[in-house]
Amino acid sequence: MSATNADYNARQTDPQRALGRLGIYLLLAIWAFICIFPLYWTITTSVKSREAVIQGPKYIPYVDFQPDNKGWFPLIWEAGARANFLKHFQNTLFVSLLAALLEPTEQLRKYEAGGDYTSRLAMTEEIKTLPLGAVWDYYCRKLEVPAGSAWINVVKQYEKDVLAARG
């Protein structure tokens, strides 16, 4: 039993281990700062006056600048601005829910289960460009090239003919 305690104590006092842990914690702290700072920047900028935003970066409220609610005041208290904000929020919510509901999840799952990652990637990219996609499809048809997801057949034929011959 004492040998186990000695091994445990030796591991705990190993300077290389302590240095390694310090390095890991330092990297984690840097990464946490990188992830959290944009949120901090957004919040502090939202309580700055226009003049303070234009003057450049000032980081610490009440030290570098005086926070105010002028940016938030119309949104909270003025009916017209609040209605405008809610209209834009409603439009964003509608578009995001519609995109989520229209996603061909079953087809994507079939492609993934079958190992057809090329088709899955192509369909995922098609989904991303749905508003722009109609205009792009028209342009492709006008140039007499495959439009929509039809181009994937050309890629698959290329994979069979050219890539398979390379070995």
C-alpha span between 93 and 120 (Å, rounded): 26
pTM assigned to the model: 0.44
Helix, strand, coil tally for the chain in percent (to 5): 80, 0, 20
Identify the H or E element spanning 137: helix 130-142
C-alpha span between 118 and 156 (Å, rounded): 8
First to last CA, the chain: 60
Identify the H or E element spanning 112: helix 105-113
Residue 65, beta-bridge partner list: 61
Q: Are 149 and 126 in contact (CB under 8 A)?
A: yes
pLDDT, one tens digit for every residue, the chain (167 residues): 555 666 665 555 678 888 889 999 999 999 999 999 999 999 888 888 888 888 888 888 888 888 887 777 777 777 777 777 888 888 788 878 877 777 888 999 999 999 999 999 988 888 877 666 677 778 888 888 888 778 788 888 888 887 777 76
Q: State residue 147 phi and psi, 5-degree precision.
A: -110, 160
Contacts of 65 (CB under 8 A, 6+ apart): 48, 49, 52, 58
